[in-house]
A and B are shown apart, each in its own frame.
Chain A
Amino acid sequence: MTKLTKLARSIWPALVLTVLLVAASLLSLGASGSTAEIITEMMTRIVMVVGLYIFVGNSGILSYAHIGFAAIGAYASAWFTCCTLPMVKPLYLPGLPDFLLNNAYPFEVGLLSAAVASGGVAFVIGIIFVRLAGIAASIASFAFLAIVYAVYGNWESVTAGTSSISNIPVVVGPGIATMGAVCVVWVAFAFQSSRYGFMLRASRDEPVAARSSGVRVRHMRLIAWVLSAVVAGIGGALYSSFMGILTIDNFYLTLTFLTIAMLTVGGLQSLSGAVVGVICVTIVTTSLRAMESGNWLFQLPKGMQEIGLGVIMILILIFRPKGLLNGREFTLPKRRPPQKA
């Protein structure tokens, strides 16, 4: 019994989040189509934000690059899984190699390629990135986002440039998206409970002490960087297979802002914060959007969704800088330890 409690206590945060996510996805059963879509979209966001959290939360370095990785994953997956109509690829993406041009592969292959592509790019970039100090690293990551945007926006022969790739098979619904979100939560939890996670957090909180205790900070950062890019890439692939249409404009500043806002609102420093942040921001933006369209008691002017989100984020940073969860995980309520005689 005590063994079981011990086990439960050690994996409690991930268990709570799993239950939370499954409960949220159950809302989509029997609900209208638009609710199911909102929930699916939220789950794909959770995958991206948890990806972002794996690096940002554990290393303490803010990254703007992860939506870039999501874009890389989304395009890699689209190259394999596209399209429902066989003539689309030769027509719009003539630059693809032959094995991609004339074949459409199943969704699983797409996910795998997303992981490999974003992870590979992250590894190469990461070797340089981890050498930079905190703030400089953040700015470099912003430059990386701009590079991805510039390259994918101009590389007409394989990305269709600024127009979109359509006819991507729509295979992701609430079920698959939730499964993805739950898996990713467990991956992030496993990482942060591993020795690598602990060493990285040690270097975040006490850089000098960590280094002098033998933590190889750059190695730890690189591991987290690649893992988080892989997760973000998978998030991008899920998103494109949910939308069925892919354009680079969806993977730039707006989504970057949204994901960072989600992570900040919940709290940068805990996995529970990342997930709760996505859920809360989704609720807020969805209701603001409903108010904008006038389906509410009163109508808000256009643009309030973005402005409102920005203001909420600033207020949270001022009044609750560690986010709604204050940097903590969900924990099992503690019973008082038995008194020893």
Chain B
Amino acid sequence: MAYFIQTLIDALSLGSLYALAALGIGLLFGILRLINFAHGDYITIGAYSLIVPSTAATTTVFIGGWHTVPLILAVCIIVVAAALLSDRFVFRFLRRSHPATLMVASFALGYVIQNVILAIYGSRPKSIGLWPQLSRFLVIGEIRLPILQLVVISSTIILLLLLTLFLYRTRFGIQMRAASDDFMMARYLGVRADFVIGLAFAISGLLACAVSLLLVTQTGVLSPTMGLGVVLYAFIATVIGGMGSLTGSVLGGVAVGMASSFLQAYLPPDARPFRDAFLFGLVVLLLVVRPSGLVKVKGIEERV
């Protein structure tokens, strides 16, 4: 039983990370029809901004050594700037392009960012201890709860609540939802396109920043492809959640994270290296039953 509860907490915390990443991707998809492959690289940028740029084997902490509040602010500003710049210099020129073109462009952008990081920081994974006080345990009876995972879960819930409030209670949030529902009509009704898109990129950057801080605290390792590992699952999450639905993205993220943790915990040891194959197998099964995902969105399908 204790094993089950601990696995459940693991699963929820992994699911939270995937949900945050999937939400960042889903937000842009809703408005721009952009599957942003560079989202993972925003996460990587956030993580690498914590250390001093160098190819040396030892890491020197830079922003990572600051006090909590300025640290979070600084990383957020850097990641949001990266997201906004990628819009300004790449995606703004592709507003009228086909979604497949957008996807290829973001794939190329991600590849460029990855290789720039590789050139500046070197290809060796680097270790960094961020917020070590979070790696303690809370012992309740037989169960040892890692504080960090509780922090991951609760900060995800807080972020989701704030985002919901923003989307439903503020003027700009409502504009964003309108744009995501029917972009042309929203523009006719006076929603400024570039502003809403910029806002979406900024929020997507904020979410990436959250993922990157939580991820670094958890793993303590930086590598140029670290973001890609997360967003691969987040992509899957957006597909099984139903493309274009924000609720779907969150649900999908939690589902993928939980499936992954439970497979890891309950598969026989010989089969564990193939966990991802089982996971994607489940995803494929789900897609056979529901090709358009858990939450079906009307606006995505072409009207005749």
Contact = CB atoms under 8 A, between A and B. Distances in A.
Interface of A: 60-62, 128, 131-136, 138-140, 142-144, 146-147, 150-151, 154-155, 207-208, 253, 257, 260-261, 264, 268, 301-303, 306-307, 309-311, 313-314, 317-318, 321
Contact of A261 (B108, B116, B228): B108
Contact of B97 (A128, A313, A317): A317
Interface string B195-230: 000000000000000000000000000000100100
B107 interface: yes
B2 interface: no
Contact of B115 (A142, A268, A303, A317): A303
B62 interface: no
Contacts of A133: 291-292, 300-301
B100 interface: yes
Contact of A147 (B99, B280, B300): B280
Interface of A is mostly: helix
B159 interface: no
A264 B104 contact: yes
B16 interface: no
Contacts of A150: 273-277
Contacts of A317: 94, 97, 101, 104-105, 108
Contacts of B97: 317, 321
A264 B287 CA distance: 29
A311 B238 contact: no
A301 B120 CA distance: 11
A146 B280 contact: yes
B116 A314 contact: no
A257 B35 contact: no
B284 interface: yes
B185 interface: no
A62 B104 contact: yes
Given A253-B225, A306-B118, 13 more contacts: A62-B100, A131-B287, A131-B291, A134-B99, A135-B35, A139-B239, A142-B232, A143-B236, A144-B280, A146-B232, A147-B280, A150-B276, A303-B115
B112 A307 contact: yes
B93 interface: yes
12 contacts: A131-B287, A134-B100, A135-B33, A135-B103, A135-B243, A136-B292, A140-B284, A144-B280, A306-B118, A310-B109, A314-B112, A318-B93
Contact of A208 (B90, B100, B111, B302): B302
B283 interface: yes
B111 A257 contact: yes
Interface of B: 33, 35, 90, 93-94, 97-101, 103-105, 107-109, 111-112, 115-116, 118-119, 225, 228, 232, 235-236, 238-239, 243, 273-277, 280, 283-284, 287-288, 291-293, 300-302, 304
Contacts of B33: 135
- Best-buried of B97, B274, B284, B293 by chain A (most CB within 10 Å): B284
Contacts of A136: 239, 243, 287, 291-293
Given A132-B287, A136-B243, A143-B280, A257 B304 contact: no
A217 B236 CA distance: 24
A318 B118 contact: no
Nearest to A209: B304
A132 B273 contact: no
A314 B90 contact: yes
B119 A154 contact: no
Contacts of A321: 94, 97-98, 101
B116 A142 contact: no
Contact of A60 (B35, B100, B104, B276): B100
- Best-buried of B103, B232, B293 by chain A (most CB within 10 Å): B103
Contacts of B105: 313-314, 317-318
- Sorted from nearest, which 3 A-B pairs have the closest CB atoms? A303-B119, A154-B273, A310-B112
A290 to B, nearest CB: 18
Contacts of A307: 112, 115-116, 119
B104 A128 contact: no
- Best-buried of A133, A140, A143 by chain B (most CB within 10 Å): A143
Contacts of B101: 317, 321
Contacts of A301: 119
Nearest to A56: B100
A38 to B, nearest CB: 21
Given A139-B238, A318-B93, A306 B280 contact: no
A39 B98 CA distance: 34
Contacts of A140: 239, 283-284, 287
A261 B292 CA distance: 29
B4 to A, nearest CB: 26
A131 B288 contact: yes
A139 B236 contact: yes
A144 B280 CA distance: 8
Contacts of B108: 257, 261, 310, 313-314, 317
A318 B92 CA distance: 10
Contacts of A260: 104, 107
